[in-house]
Structure 1
Amino acid sequence: MRHADRVRDRRNRVIVVAADPAVVAGVGSFGAYVLSNESEQKKAAEAAARAPVEGEKDWDATKLGRNRVAKSVTYPMKPPVGGDHDQAWMNCEGDVYKKPVPDMKAVHSLEHGAVWVRSSDKASASTSRSSPRRSAGHRTRR
């Protein structure tokens, strides 16, 4: 019986020695696959972020001007994104205006970092429902 025990022990050692590299290779391959897959997803997301936005336009800020003027300004784009502007700006505390904001005042506000969200009565009902609203305690300007 001792001989049979030795044979069984030897066989078990051979199986363990042979199986260990296969298990290690399998775990390593799985890890490499997961990392590669995450890397591919990250690359795809970065490529999508760099892709141009359909309909996106840009303007040369050096040609638009940044002067405060008293005369009326006609902007080459609608809504204006920059250029000469009024000497006074709009309240930039997140107010929602019921009436259109004068372009020249809005451009001045943009120069100081304000965000200007513009809508019209032609907007769909779903767009109107998703439009920005002020938080409690702030005024709506008329």
Structure 2
Amino acid sequence: MAMLRSLLLLFIVFSMGNAEVNLVKKCPYGWTNLGVRCYKFFSQMVTWITAEKNCQSLDANLASVHSKIENDFLLSLLPSSSTRCWFGAHDGEVEAQWLWTDGTPFDYTHWAPGQPDNKGEPRTESCGELNYESKNNKKI
């Protein structure tokens, strides 16, 4: 059975129809912003696919990471050093071809040493996990 992890949710809010670029976005109550995106950590023990579906029900996606600043920011949202959570990386379409669930370019990684290693049963490490050691891991 798939391992369960806490859910880190990314709620993307883009300014549409405005010629000016907003560098900071006001987020709904309980959410934290970084630039034009709003983030919220949900402590729910669910599978990666359930976490993504929960995000989509809120017109959002699991978090995508595009820089060290964003990676460090996401880590700051984790409630403790033992917390591990899902984020939006997956290679579910083509093995070892990583994508973000929000469709943005996969342009940054901070894999843990030796990751992704795809150990375990076939197709069992196709989703991204973030942990407090500032590393991304390929798990499910």
TM-score under structure 1 normalisation? 0.21
More strand by share: 2
TM-score by length of 2: 0.21
Query: Bigger radius of gyration, 1 or 2?
Result: 1
Q: Which has the larger share of helix?
A: 1
